[in-house]
Amino acid sequence: MSQPTQASNAKPMIPFLTALLYWLKLGLISFGGPAGQISLMYQELVERRRWVSEKRFLNALNYTMLLPGPEAQQLATYMGWLMHGTVGGIAAGLLFILPAFFLLVFLSWVYLTYGHLAWITAIFYGIKPAVFAIVVVAVYRLASRVLHHAALWWLAIGAFVAIAVFNLPFPLIMLSALAIALVMSVVSPRILEAKPTATVVGDSSEKALIDDDTVLAHTKFHWRKLFHVVLLGLALWASAMAGLIVWTGDVNSALVQMGWFFTKAAWLTFGGAYAVLPYVYQGAVEHFSWLTAPQMMDGLALGETTPGPLIMIVTFIGFVGGWGQETLPTLSPFLNGLLAAGVVTFFSFLPSFLLILAGAPLVEAGRENTKLKGLLMAISAALVGVMLNLAVFFGYHVFWPHAPKLFENLEGWLAVDPIAIGISALAIGLLFWKNWGFIQVILLSAALGLVTLIF
C-alpha cells in the first residue's frame, strides 16, 4: 500500500500568485450559474492543471451542496483553502464575487440613472421573459433530481400551496419541511435515500499535485482551530453590526435592518439562489419596501447577465434600497447605494466563508452524515414548490404587466403580452432542446427586446 504523500513542511506546491491570478480569472468569466461555474473549476483544477485530484474535488463539492449559500463560491473557497490554507480560502472566495460586485454596482447606477431611456427599457423587456424561462428550467432540473418518491411530490405541492395560497413565510415552510423530514427518517427512511449521483469522469492518469493521499498540515482537524474560526466569524459579524448601529445612531435604521435580514437569508439559501429568492422578495419588496416588484425582476435580469453566483442580486437590492432610502442623508444617492450594497453583500457571504473554513477540516477527515443528506433532500423537495411559486410570480409580472390583479375581472385576464410569451417559449425551447447556455439565451432575448423598438 502506498504511503501518504507528506506535504506538511514543504513549500506550497502551487504558487500563491498563480492561484490568485486563476481565481481572479474565474471571477471574471464565471457565467452560466452554479453548474457552469463548477464545471469551469473542474476542467481547470482537476483536468487541465492537475492541482487537485478528482476524488478530493468531488468530496468538497458534496459538502458544499449540503450547505446554505452559493455552492460554487463555497467550492472556490474550499479549493483555495485546500491549496493555501485560510488566506487562500478567503482570497479565492473574495475574488469569485468581487468582479460581480463592482460590475453590479456600476450596472445598478446605470439602471437608476438612465433606466428611463427607451433602449434600456427595451433590453429589460426582452430579458424578463428569458428570466422566467430560466426559473422554469431550474425548477424542472431540481424536481428531476429530488422528487423520486410520491411523498416528496406531496411535500413539494404542500410547500407551493403554503406560500402561494396562504402566503406563509419562507422560514416557516422550511422548518415545517424539516419536521416532516424528521418524521420520514423514522417512519420510512428509504424515502430520503438519495439516488446515485453521476460523477464527472476525467483523465486522472496523471497524479495531481494535491492527490487523494496527499497530507497537508493545515487541513487537519483540531477543536481549538474550529473554536477560533467560529469565534472570529461571530466577532466579525458582531463588530460590523455594532458599527452600523453606532454609525447610523438607530438600531432600526435601514442599514441595520439590511444586515439583520440578509444574515437570516444567508442561512436559508439551501437549494441555490432561486430557492431563497421568494424569501428575499417577501422581505425586500413586501415588508421593507427597499425596491418594487418590477425592480426585483430587473435585478434578477442583471444578476443573470453578470459573472458570479446569482445570489449577487443582493448587491443590486442593497444598491437600489440605499439609493432610495437615503440610509445616510449626508451622503449622495450613489454613495448611499454603494454603502448599502457593501453591507448586504458582506452579511450575505460571511456565513459562507465561516462554514467552509470551519467545516472543511471535518470533510477532509472523511466524516459524512448520510442522515443529514436525507433531511436536506426533503428540504429540497419543499424548495421545488417554493421555486414554482417564484416562477408563477415572475410569469404574472412578465405576461400581465398592466394587470394589477389578474383575476379581478375579465379585462385583466385578457391583458396578456403575446410578445413576452413568445420570447419565453423560445427561451424554454432553446434551454431544453438545444442545450443553449443561460448567457446565450439572455443575449438573444435582449436583442429581441431591442427589435421591438422598430415596431
Return the bridge partners of 210, or none: 52
Region 266-292 average pLDDT: 80
Q: Write down the mean pLDDT value for the chain.
A: 82
Per-residue pLDDT tens for 167-182? 787 768 878 888 898 8
State the Cα angle at 113 between 109 and 118, rounded to 5°.
Answer: 120
Contact (Cβ atoms closer than 8 angstroms) between residue 253 and residue 289: no
pLDDT score for 371 = 67
Judged on CB neighbours under 10 Å (0-12, 13-18, 19+), 239 is exposed
Per-residue pLDDT tens for 75-92? 999 999 999 999 999 999
Helix (H) / strand (E) containing 215: strand 214-215
Q: What percentage of the chain carries pLDDT values higher than 70? A: 85
Residues contacting residue 222 through CB under 8 Å, at least 6 positions apart: 361
Per-residue pLDDT tens for 402-442? 655 545 555 556 678 899 999 999 999 998 888 887 778 88
Largest CA distance in the chain: 76
Helix (H) / strand (E) containing 171: helix 170-187
pLDDT score for 93 = 96
Enumerate the domain spans of the chain. Answer: 16-401+412-451
Say what the pTM is: 0.73
pLDDT score for 358 = 93
